[in-house]
């Protein structure tokens, strides 16, 4: 262990007692996330319980030059939380309280270690809901730090649109508040959005004021098949243009459908591209949306409509969609999934997916595609034999081709998974001159480079 880290740990141990640990089990569980990224052990794991403790820890680490990498529940997908430079893994899960719910204002004040499901559990009797849903039961702090979104952002927005205010601790221990509980403000630089998506490299989020939405009176879900992906995408474009307020519009390709059929005993869908949809509103409003969508989709050759009005039927559909990641593993025994995502303007989506499928075929790998098609965001889950360095390399090459495809179509190399270690090499290509400004921001806010070093802007 580097001397500065040892010095920092000794001081943090004085502060936290047994809540600073160097036990191997803790270090191992904080060495990786869900990405296929080599794990790196932190020197220790700290479990702060208050903002003041986070501030005190950062003051020590800043003085000593010891790296600090925040950790939620480790569900990120690009190696964000891997402490590549060692130091302290700052586990935020003991700061997991709901501090206030304001039903009239449709907001809640929460701590960063709270998971989205726990928040919704607390909200259940209020008629309100927190909508950002990346699939995994992530912490809300982690979702903000990685600019997460998910299946219903087409209707309710990503985490970017659902955070009103933050409390943040800077690298030197300074405690800031950004934004307010007012819905909008024209007062000063938008620091809230600077920290959202900064992946723990500019500050540690210690409190969030998030937007809530009313639980819809009526929810209806549906699936339908298409002869081609472009038919599915064109349907969604038409529906968005006419202002249909779809709550979820998920595309799964025929390879993913095969996996769903294999994984779920009660599924036997035709192996074609599918849309999974959900509509929220009043009973009459939902009925109208459903009819309008059906008309649009049938114009594009959709078939095999299945409507799910009852809660258990809806849950069955969405359970199948949410289990896509696990279902894919049925396609090849012993394989692991290398997951990647990108996002393009929706007009380019069908062409990009067609090109992606050609690249997958050329790679000789299995890689089902799912997409949040309303956002132009799609994911590949590339199955590889983890013991074959050559296959892993082919998967990385394929992911790289996908990134370039997105950049060639006015898009971004990641719509929602973030940069972590996996997308770092594409930042210069995506941002050009703006990447230098990001480095300047990092140097300005974290001059010693102790916060999640090596990530997002690379090594300064």
Q: Which of residues 220-249 bind a copy of itself (CB under 8 A)?
A: 237, 240-243, 245
User: CB–CB of 429/447 below 8 Å?
Assistant: no
Q: Please give the Cα distance from 87 to 221 (Å, whole number).
A: 47
Q: Please give the Cα distance from 253 to 371 (Å, whole number).
A: 9
Q: Should residue 194 be labelled a site residue for a copy of itself when binding is judged by CB under 8 A?
A: yes
Shortest Å distance, C-beta 218 to a copy of itself? 11
Q: Should residue 138 be labelled a site residue for a copy of itself when binding is judged by CB under 8 A?
A: no
Binding mask 377-406 for a copy of itself (x = CB under 8 A): x----------------------------x
Among 24, 176, 304, 460, binds a copy of itself (CB under 8 A): 176
Q: Should residue 417 be labelled a site residue for a copy of itself when binding is judged by CB under 8 A?
A: yes
User: CB–CB of 175/167 below 8 Å?
Assistant: yes
The number of residues that bind a copy of itself (CB under 8 A) is 93
Q: Please give the Cα distance from 37 to 41 (Å, whole number).
A: 13
* Binding segment toward a copy of itself, per CB under 8 A, in 35-43, 48-56, 194-202, 255-263: 194-202
State both tokens at 318: 């969405």
Among 13, 301, 430, 458, binds a copy of itself (CB under 8 A): 430
Q: Should residue 250 be labelled a site residue for a copy of itself when binding is judged by CB under 8 A?
A: no
Q: Should residue 190 be labelled a site residue for a copy of itself when binding is judged by CB under 8 A?
A: yes
Beta strand ranges found along 58-182 (DSSP E): 68-71, 88-91, 98-102, 107-110, 128-129, 163-169, 175-179
* Binding segment toward a copy of itself, per CB under 8 A, in 31-39, 254-262, 327-335, 421-429: 421-429
Among 85, 147, 248, 394, binds a copy of itself (CB under 8 A): 147
Residue closer to a copy of itself, measured from CB, 125 or 268: 125
Residue closer to a copy of itself, measured from CB, 337 or 420: 420
Q: Please give the Cα distance from 254 to 252 (Å, whole number).
A: 7
Q: Should residue 148 be labelled a site residue for a copy of itself when binding is judged by CB under 8 A?
A: yes
Closest CA to 245 of 281, 275, 299: 281
Residue closer to a copy of itself, measured from CB, 333 or 444: 444
Q: Should residue 346 be labelled a site residue for a copy of itself when binding is judged by CB under 8 A?
A: yes
Of residues 57-116, which lie at the interface with a copy of itself (CB under 8 A)?
A: 102-107
User: CB–CB of 77/420 below 8 Å?
Assistant: yes
Of residues 355-374, which lie at the interface with a copy of itself (CB under 8 A)?
A: 374
Shortest Å distance, C-beta 350 to a copy of itself? 10
Shortest Å distance, C-beta 261 to a copy of itself? 30
Residue 128: beta bridge partners? 214
Residue closer to a copy of itself, measured from CB, 306 or 347: 347
Shortest Å distance, C-beta 163 to a copy of itself? 11
Angle between helices 349-363 and 389-408 (to 10 degrees): 160
Q: Please give the Cα distance from 393 to 389 (Å, whole number).
A: 6
Q: How buried is 362 (Cβ within 10 angstroms: 0-12 exposed, 13-18 middle, 19+ buried)?
A: exposed
Q: Should residue 419 be labelled a site residue for a copy of itself when binding is judged by CB under 8 A?
A: yes
Give Dmax (Cα) for the chain.
68
Q: Should residue 178 be labelled a site residue for a copy of itself when binding is judged by CB under 8 A?
A: yes
A 10 A CB-CB count for 234 gives 20
Angle between helices 349-363 and 229-241 (to 10 degrees): 160
Residue closer to a copy of itself, measured from CB, 217 or 227: 217
Of residues 302-341, which lie at the interface with a copy of itself (CB under 8 A)?
A: none
Q: Please give the Cα distance from 438 to 359 (Å, whole number).
A: 32
């Amino acid at each position: 262990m580097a001397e500065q880290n040892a010095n920092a740990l000794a001081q943090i141990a004085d502060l936290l007692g047994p809540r600073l640990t160097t036990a191997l089990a803790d270090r191992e569980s904080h060495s990786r996330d869900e990405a296929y990224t080599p794990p790196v052990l932190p020197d220790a794991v700290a479990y702060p319980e208050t903002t003041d403790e986070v501030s005190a820890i950062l003051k020590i680490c800043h003085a000593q030059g010891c790296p600090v990498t925040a950790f939620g529940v480790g569900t990120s997908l690009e190696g964000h939380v891997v402490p590549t430079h060692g130091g302290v893994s700052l586990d935020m899960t003991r700061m997991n309280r709901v501090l206030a719910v304001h039903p009239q204002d449709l907001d809640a004040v929460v701590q960063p270690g709270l998971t989205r499901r726990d928040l919704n559990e607390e909200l259940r009797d209020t008629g309100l809901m927190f909508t950002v849903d990346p699939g995994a039961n992530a912490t809300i702090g982690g979702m903000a730090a990685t600019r997460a979104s998910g299946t219903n952002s087409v209707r309710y927005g990503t985490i970017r649109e659902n955070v009103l205010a933050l409390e943040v601790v800077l690298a030197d221990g300074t405690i800031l508040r950004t934004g307010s509980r007012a819905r909008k403000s024209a007062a000063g630089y938008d620091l809230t959005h600077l920290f959202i998506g900064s992946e723990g490299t500019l500050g540690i989020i210690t409190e969030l004021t998030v937007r809530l939405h009313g639980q819809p009176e009526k929810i209806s879900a549906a699936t339908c098949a298409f002869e081609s992906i472009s038919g599915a995408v064109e349907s969604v474009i038409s529906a968005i243009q006419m202002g249909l307020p779809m709550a979820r519009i998920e595309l799964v390709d025929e390879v993913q459908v095969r996996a769903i059929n294999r994984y779920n005993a009660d599924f036997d869908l035709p192996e074609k591209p599918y849309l999974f949809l959900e509509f929220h509103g009043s009973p009459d409003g939902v009925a109208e949306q459903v009819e309008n969508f059906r008309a649009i989709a049938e114009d594009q050759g959709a078939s095999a409509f299945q409507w799910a009005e009852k809660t258990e039927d809806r849950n069955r559909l969405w359970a199948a969609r949410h289990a896509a990641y696990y279902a894919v593993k049925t396609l090849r025994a012993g394989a692991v999934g290398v997951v990647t995502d990108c996002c393009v303007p929706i007009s380019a989506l069908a062409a990009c997916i067609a090109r992606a499928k050609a690249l997958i075929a050329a790679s000789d790998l299995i890689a089902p595609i799912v997409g949040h098609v309303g956002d132009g965001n799609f994911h590949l889950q590339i199955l590889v034999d983890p013991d074959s360095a050559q296959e892993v390399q082919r998967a990385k090459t394929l992911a790289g081709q996908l990134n370039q495809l997105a950049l060639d179509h006015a898009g971004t190399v990641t719509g929602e998974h973030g940069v972590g270690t996996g997308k770092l090499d594409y930042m210069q290509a995506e941002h050009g001159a703006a990447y230098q400004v990001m480095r300047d921001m990092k140097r300005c806010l974290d001059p010693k480079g102790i916060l999640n070093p090596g990530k997002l802007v690379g090594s300064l």
